[in-house]
Copies of this chain bind each other. A is one copy, B any other.
Amino acid sequence: MGMMTEQKILRAAIVGSTGYGGVELIRLLQHHPQVEITSVISSSSSGVPISDGFPHLTNIVERNLDGVVPAEIAERADVVFTATPSGVSAKLVPQLMEAGLKVIDLSGDFRIKDGSVYEEWYKHKAPDDDVLAQAVYGLCEVFGEEVVDVDFISNPGCYPTATLLGLIPAISAGWIDPASIIIDAKSGVSGAGRGTSLMAHYAEINENFKAYKVNKHQHIPEIEQVLSEVAGEKVTVTFTTHLAPMTRGIMSTMYASLLGAYTEEDFVELYRQYYKDRRFVRVRDQGTWPATKEVSGSNYCDIGFSVDSRTGRVTFVSVIDNVVKGAAGQAIQNLNLMMGWEESLGLTFTPVYP
B-binding residues in A (CB < 8 A): 20, 23, 26-27, 30-31, 54-60, 182, 184, 186, 188-190, 194, 196-198, 200-212, 214-215, 236-238, 240, 242, 244-249, 251, 253, 255, 279, 282, 284, 288-298, 302, 304, 306, 308, 310-311, 313, 315, 317, 319, 348-354
A214 and B353 contacting across the interface, CB-CB below 8 Å: no
Copies of this chain, complex-wide, total 4
Known: A200-B203, A202-B206, A210-B292. 6 other contacts (CB 8 A): A20-B354, A30-B348, A58-B282, A190-B354, A207-B296, A238-B308
Closest residue on chain B to residue A189 by CB atoms: B202
**Minimum CB–CB distance for A60 against chain B, Å:** 5
7 chain-A/chain-B pairs, Cβ below 8 angstroms: A186-B244, A188-B207, A189-B206, A206-B246, A210-B289, A210-B293, A242-B253
Question: Closest approach, in angstroms, between the C-beta of A270 and any C-beta of chain B?
Answer: 18
A207: contacting residue among B205, B215, B249, CB under 8 A: B249
Given contacts A294-B56, A297-B352, contact A186 B202 (CB under 8 A): no
Whether the pair B210, A246 counts as a contact (CB closer than 8 A) is no
Closest to A179 in B: B311
A313 touches B349 (CB 8 A): no
